[in-house]
Structure 1
Amino acid sequence: MENSYHLIIVGAGMAGLCAAAEAAAQGASVLVLEKEEKFGGSSLLSGRYMAFAGTDIQQREGIADQTEYLVADMLAVGEGKNEVDLVEAYGERQFETYQWLVAQGVEFHKVQAVSGHSVPRGHTITPLQAITALYEGAKSSGNVVFKTQAIVQRLRKNAAGRVAEVIYEHEGEILTATAENGVLLTSGGFSKSEELLSAFAPQLDGALRIGGAGNVGDGIRLASEQGAWLRDFPYLKGTFGFHPTADGPWKSQALAFYKGAIIVNKRAERFVNESISYKLIGTEALRQPDQITYQIWDQAIMDQGVAVDALYDFAKLQALGLIEQAETLEELAEKIDLPIEALNKTISVYNGDVSNGSDRQFGRTSLTHHFGKPQPIRQAPFYAMHTTVAMLATYAGVSVDRYAQVLNPYHEPIEGLYAAGEIAGGFHGAGYMTGSSLGKAAIFGRVAVQSALTKHAVL
């Protein structure tokens, strides 16, 4: 039948392209509809990390890790609000998905210790390289039709009550396509929708808006019309670590606090345990006077910068004029307009506590989560970066099960409807572990395809 496919995928970021590549390999006919002119979405703006455990890269670095540690960390960071079955499904599929991505041509460079991990397991990619490899693999199969600037307007059920029709606009025409096996929503979140952010997260009014241009919640609306239940909206949080200029063309970000920096407000006072999730830090930062905060560190921490790393390339940020440097703390305080005596006192108390092995103010015992040991800030020169909170991804959305089936309010699958990636709620819970967003996009994008083709096999 013309305009009939086994699967229709709405959105072409990491989740959608992994799904397309998986479906193509299984011989399914696929239509991928992308609203924007280019593929990638917010995946191209990500911090470049994917969370995997027990990989060859870790082994070469001498890092002992396993699935059980990864799952435990995710649940701990999520403060027990995660859907345990989803996290365990991630654990079951994570290593095989890592190997699959490598086979698809996705290049992994190294591992870093990043937010929420008890060992270094943030596997770095170059998002554009990964997106391109996945697209080219799916396209070369001949089984996948890609359409850009295709705006999905509505989903419709067939006579049997399954979601099967997609109505979309493309090149000035309103078209309808039919999915025999299922419709997969991989259309991202709503970090660029002032309407939805104001309705669901008014506490984030002060956060920068830097997500993908198409992230306005289209998929959530499409699924909701079909009866989807929503998850995790009370836990919406911004991401701490961005320079205030990040709402421009450069998404400048530094997480020096995970290398040992402290974070202070305009009174030069610490206000948080710097080792916790940058989502939780972001919540506290927005509560500070005038929402002004700075990261403060020394040369020993500066030396731990990592070139060409989205989160730790301190030298590049300094070259861009985003990091201040001074030979003394007094000079640094003057440069960034902090009270000199207060900054001296804050650093002195912190250094004393770190040297004594006990942070009396906020209980910091590590660099990030359970990894690393804080060191005193005392080696000149000293550095500071004005840092703020940004909405890059929303991590709340439609309820799904471990098979990526979208669920209704009674936890029943909505026949024919699947979701993966940022649009899917229930996975992260109250916190966020770096690398789990791209990780779950890849894992559940593939799971959705496998579920749809198995449940309603017509191949």
Structure 2
Amino acid sequence: MKTERNTCDVVVLGAGIAGLAAACRATDEGLSVVLVEKSDAVGGSSAMSGGFFAFSGTDEQCEKGVEDSAELFLADMLAVGQNANDESLLRAYLDEQAEVYAWLKSRGVVFRALELSSGQSVPRSHLSDIKDVLTMLADQFVAAGGLLLVDSRATRLVQDAERVTGVHIESPSGPQTLTATSGVVVATGGFSRSAELLKIFAPEQLAAIPYGGRANTGDGLTMAWMLGAGLADMSYVSATYGSHPDTTEAFHELLTAYYLGAIIVNSDGRRFVDESQSYKTLGMACLAQPNGLGFEVFDSVVRAKSHPGVPLNDIGMLEDLGHVFRADTLTDLAELAGIDAAALEQTVERYNTAVRGLGDDEFQRNGLCNGVGELLPIVAPPFYAYPAKALMTSTYCGLTIRPDGRVLRVDGSAIDGLYAIGEVTGGFHGAAYMTGTSLGKGAVFGSIVAKTLRNARE
């Protein structure tokens, strides 16, 4: 396969998991592909994620005795999304997931842990070494004859008689126009780094800790929007709860001890939410608290559930960073963490009473995660507190698409030659997010759009 520098079958914008999957699968289909990345390296927000892919019916689930199904997976996604999801997109994911799971493993991806997390009624978060996955896919794409352009920013889509035929880019060698004879795939991620777009769609989220790829400023979304593309899920933008106030871009620091049995209190020592909900929902609730801060409070029983090396659940690693307070009594813990001590003791006692079945939980919590798992009293010293804020990792909303990846106008008609996948799209998640469905969605719809482009060329 030969790719001319300025003319090819397909141009893919963005080299996160969605763009890399699309580029690799398109080359598998015999298409010539140019992959354009705004940053100086591949990865984007995908490289800053925890590395979880959500799949059902896998070997890892079978080995652990986990009973899952596409029907249960669908029910969970609709529930966490509060039925605001586009069910046709969810069904497209479910129809393709088994093939994509097998394809990733054939490419050398290893899933080293299986976890239960946000929005799931059974464990289906498959942990990968995501940076290695991204590098491996990029290397394989180039080895297969694909052209990767880094430090190259797409600035405007090119149309000919309402068909998208290419894209203008700014590259180290100057302005270029890339012509795509089959189509342009927008995989540029969200807009967690765009204060301007957050001000338009979710101004309250500006109070969250900024995160996500530095290049995630909404370029792809705005370019397609200029052509009349529709938008979905813009009102559901929410940061993720669980990151220390001193979190940096160096690594993905996020603790979900509340899914292991912790409660969340504010600095006044009061709970303010059902902790078993999606961490996106928890993020919205946390932003409304004093200083946007919530403390994950737990005891030695929960501490013993720490999973070394597993993002979201590695309490020991956070202790080593000095980010976790520890004390033998709740009073001493409160004083260390800056929480109202008397109120914290009352809150824990009220919670423990409800867990023992002697009263009602004030927020109707009935499980550890998504209603699953038996609640635990907080009674066994030492006690711990992890101060955490909401982290604006991703926006999970954007362009409206068909299940085959074609971008739709506001009136529901397709924009010929334009496709979108990954975080830049809306409609899939709805009101909230299940762990692993972002990376999973990127890989799955990357595969789907590659097949769509192959069929269109035929």
For each residue in 1:293-326, what CA deviation from the matched residue of structure 2 results, as whole angstroms up to 9, or x when unmatched?
A: 1000001101101111121110010010000111
Please state whether the residue corresponding to 1:8 is helix, strand or coil: strand
Match of 2:334 in 1: 333
Identity of aligned residues (%): 39
* Paired residue type of 2:159: K
Residue pair 2:268, 2:343 contacting (<8 A) in 1 also: yes
- Aligned partner of 1:36 among 15, 18, 39: 39
Matched residue type, 1:229: G
The C-alpha deviation readout for 1:52-77, integer Å capped at 9, x for no partner, is 00100010001111111111100000
Residue 360 of structure 1 and its aligned partner are, at CA, apart by 2.4
Equivalences for residues 46-125 of structure 1 within 5 A: 46-125=49-128
Identify if the C-alpha distance between structure 1 residues 250 and 165 changes in structure 2 by more than 3 Å, giving closer, same or farther.
closer
Consecutive unaligned residues of structure 1, counting only runs of 5 or more, are: none
Asked if 1:372 is matched to 2:388, the reply is no
Contact 1:274–1:281 at 8 Å: present in 2 too?
yes
What's the CA shift string for 1:111-165, capped at 9, x where partnerless?
10100000011110111111122112212112x1001001111111124x31012
Give the secondary-structure state (helix, strand or coil) at the position aligned to 1:425.
coil
One-letter amino acid of the counterpart of residue 147, structure 1:
L
Secondary structure in 1 aligned to 2:170? strand
Matched pairs, number: 455
Residue identity matched to 1:168:
I
Identify the residue that residue 148 of structure 2 maps to in structure 1.
146
2:166–2:183 Cα contact (<8 Å) kept? no
Residue type at the aligned position of 1:206? A
Tell me, what secondary structure is at the counterpart of 2:155?
strand
**Cα displacement (A) at 1:342:** 0.9
What is the rounded CA distance, in whole Å, between the counterparts of 2:420 and 2:404 in structure 1?
9
Equivalent position amino acid for 2:110 in 1? E
SS of residue matched to 1:156:
strand
Q: 2:129 aligns with which of 113, 126, 137?
A: 126
Cα deviation, residue 2, structure 1: 6.0
| Alignment match, 2:26 | 23
Q: In 1, distance between residues paired with 2:371 and 2:358?
A: 14
**TM-score normalised by length of structure 1:** 0.97
Query: Closer, same or farther in 2 for the Cα pair 1:450/1:358, shift >3 Å?
Result: farther
User: What is the alpha-carbon distance in structure 2 between the residues aligned to residue 48 and residue 374 of structure 1?
Assistant: 27
Letter in 2 for 1:152: A
Q: Which amino acid aligns with 1:153?
A: T
Q: Return the alpha-carbon distance in structure 2 between the equivalents of residues 106 and 9 of structure 1.
A: 22
Partner of 2:203: 202
TM, length-normalised to structure 2: 0.97
3-state SS of 1:452 partner: helix
The 8 Å contact of residues 51 and 130 in structure 2, kept in 1 or not, is answered as yes
Question: Contact (CA 8 Å) 2:421, 2:445: kept in 1 or not?
Answer: yes
In the alignment, is residue 155 of structure 1 matched against residue 157 of structure 2? yes
Aligned counterparts, 1:293-332, within 5 A = 293-332=294-333
1:168 aligns with 2:130: no
- More displaced stretch, 413-422 vs 161-170: 161-170
- Structure 2 stretches lacking a partner, 5+ long: none
Distance in 2 between residues matched to 1:219 and 1:26, nearest whole Å: 25
Aligned counterparts, 1:210-359, within 5 A: 210-247=211-248, 249-356=250-357, 359=360
Amino acid at match of 2:143: S
